[in-house]
Structure 1
């Protein structure tokens, strides 16, 4: 992402239509207990996770009930909440045991479930009244009358369809007193969200029951009359969408009335979660502190770029995406950095950090350390040792603890990344 190094003054498009001044919630994905802890540590007000049943990310490292309890306890230390996705469209056999499962979520301290199927919505309201029920984006809610319907059904929050425009959001908020949650960052569906059946057709994995194989990201040939019509050597094509990124448009989102900024990515890495949450946290806080003098800082955009997996756009917020907003050629890795290590502890007197290796690194390599609130610095690694003091020529063993001298102080859960 090319940008100026100068902060940019942003005039919100909806400044005259402001419906709220409360700080919006920053809602982050957590595909595992470790990712939950990083998301909360880096500034998320709430996280959404998947249990081992009834969710749409069956391939994620989904949470057991005991892991949920631990995650809830950790989040509570930061004043954060934990939501659980129970957002499948259920066949009859899927509903066996759902009431008991919802009671377990309530007992574990989960703040809310995210549901699409009316059977799950109604069951939760009946058997687990302390659980809030948030309507999933799978319901494709795109008009204020539908929002009003779900409010009247007792739901305090609606997660809007990714296809909703900024004008529609502002109208919904003006006409219905209900919380609106909106995806602001992450992967987009090349179909109307949740309505694709390619996965079912090609692999017998049901997208709406947690089995999406992301067939839009596959490579395809084009045939007519059983013959390829592509030129020799021509690249096979994909049908995937570019990713969503609204870091440049925080004022519009807040002033249109969005109550929860949702980041997609329960399958993404710790580095992605920490980087993206960190950037949005700073931008939201800066705008809420002084809306009239808010400036877009280039380092926030840079942080997003360091974790981006695909080209970025603004989705449906301002216009309907056209052909240029999809990815047809083989994708190149956009992010110029990779997760190298996480800080476990820091000896201030010696200036030595103990880091846990996540990807190989070696002496002489340029790395960047960063932490919550925008703390970051770049340095070149000197010689380093293992935990017993033995010098190493490369840190190649996953989860190995390494002693590294740092140019500046660092803190536990700070991340060290390397330039690719």
Structure 2
């Protein structure tokens, strides 16, 4: 049985996401979460848990920042809070979170999400042996490689990001602000989601975000996996996520309904992809690296 996880912007929208077909919602908060669709105040976490329970939704939390030595006490306190709330899952990328979670006996809540690092079944199996709940595969591998990993690991404990903008680079430095200061045009660019950069040889604009954690660059395309969904289900994958950063709740609900339609065999993935790409031309909808390797070799 599949599980569809969607990023949420507000607690008040949990019901809309449930109605659209969500099984789980993913929330973030300032300081602890990197690249969240929106941040919910820590004081509202109990309310989020209560609303998720009311709707029979799982509640997942982004805790995917990298923690410095001076931030370890805050990390421990946050894990204690999440344990008390009994959230259903915690996305992390810092090994220190795993270490502290093991001390608290809650490593089974963890979902390892290192962005670009998990690209083979050896790594997947290594991390699953740590007793964590599941891992998230990198988005930079092909469909064939994703299917091979399923045959050599436990696909039901692997999550795939199937829809949304893909994070391609993160720096702890405030690169945009530094550049504007270099030009002699300092300005406030903090947390603006209307900025983008364009490479000279490309047409797609790559969204760029600067916040307290540094600078984040995203793909010039919006990943869509309607056409690949049947194959992913066939080899045993069950956890699929839609990331709504740079978009709104209507966009998330629309995509989720379409995937549910493809999964239920009510629609054909290829036709849905073509229609969706045409409707959302400004988003440069594409298949990412499903059919091309990230590394090109000179002949």
TM-score normalised according to structure 1 size: 0.57
- The answer on whether the counterparts of 1:49 and 1:266 sit within 8 Å (CA) in structure 2 is no
Q: 2:119 matched to 1:142?
A: yes
From 247, 262, 266, the equivalent of 2:226 is: 247
Q: By how many angstroms is 1:268 displaced?
A: 2.3
Q: Which has the larger share of helix?
A: 2
Superposed, 1:100-179 pairs within 5 Å as 100-127=77-104, 129=106, 132-138=109-115, 140-177=117-154, 179=157
2:287 to 314, 323, 328: 314
Counterparts in 2 of 1:261 and 1:221: CA distance versus 1, 3 Å: closer
User: How big is each residue's C-alpha offset from its partner over 1:339-380, in whole Å with a ceiling of 9 and x where there is no partner?
Assistant: xxxxxxxxxxxxxxxxxxxxxxxxxxxxxxxxxxxxxxxxxx
Kept in 2, the 8 Å contact 1:243–1:311? The answer is yes
Confirm or deny: 8 A CA contact 1:134 1:156 kept in the other structure.
yes
| Deviations, residues 196-242 of structure 1 (Å, cap 9, x unaligned) | 4496433369xxxxx887898235789xxxxxxxxxxxx99845521
Alignment counterpart, residue 68 of structure 1, candidates 45, 66, 70: 45
Q: Is the 8 A contact 1:106 1:131 kept in 2?
A: no
Structure 2 SS opposite 1:184: strand
Matched, 1:51 2:29: yes
> 1: distance between equivalents of 2:130 and 2:191?
29
Kept in 1: contact 2:7–2:26 (CA 8 A): yes
Distance 1:215 1:271, change over 3 A: closer
CA–CA distance in structure 2, aligned partners of residues 65 and 96 of structure 1: 16
2:24–2:57: 8 Å Cα contact kept in structure 1?
yes
RMSD over equivalenced CA pairs, Å: 3.4
Q: TM-score, normalised by structure 2?
A: 0.77
Q: Which has the larger radius of gyration?
A: 1
Residues 1:27 and 2:27 are matched in the alignment: no
- Offset at residue 137 of structure 1 (A): 3.8
Tell me the equivalent position of 1:94: 71
For 1:409, the equivalent position in structure 2 comes to: none
Q: Any idea what SS the aligned residue of 1:246 has?
A: coil
Q: 1:128 to 1:40 in 2, by over 3 A?
A: farther
Q: Relative to structure 1, is the Cα distance of residues 198 and 108 closer, same or farther in structure 2, using a 3 angstrom cutoff?
A: closer
Q: Which runs of 5+ in 1 are unaligned?
A: 1-22, 206-210, 223-234, 288-293, 324-420
- More displaced 10-residue stretch of structure 1: 196-205 or 73-82: 196-205
1:299 to partner: Cα distance: 6.5
CA contact (8 A) 1:38 1:273 kept: no
Which segments of structure 1 move beyond 6 Å, counting only runs of 4 or more? 211-216
Alignment of 1:292-331 (within 5 A): 295-296=268-269, 302=275, 306=279, 309-320=282-293
Distance in 2, Cα, partners of 1:126 & 1:309: 47
Give the number of aligned pairs.
273
User: Residue 90 of structure 2 contacts residue 110 of structure 2 at CA under 8 Å; is this kept in 1?
Assistant: yes
The reply on whether 1:203 has 2:182 as its aligned counterpart is no
**Are the counterparts in 1 of residues 165 and 245 from structure 2 also a CA contact under 8 Å?**
no
1:415 is aligned to none
SS for the counterpart of 1:248 is coil
Stretches of structure 2 lacking an aligned partner (at least 5 in a row):
180-189, 207-218
For the residue of structure 1 that corresponds to 2:48, the secondary structure is helix
- 1:296 deviation in Å? 4.2
| Aligned residue runs from structure 1 range 189-268, under 5 A | 189=167, 193=168, 195-197=169-171, 200-203=174-177, 217-218=196-197, 238=205, 240-268=219-247
The separation in 2 between residues aligned to 1:76 and 1:140, in whole angstroms, is 33
Alignment match of 1:275 (pick from 250, 254, 261): 254
Decide whether the 8 Å contact of 1:116 with 1:137 is kept in 2.
yes
SS of the residue corresponding to residue 241 of structure 1 reads strand
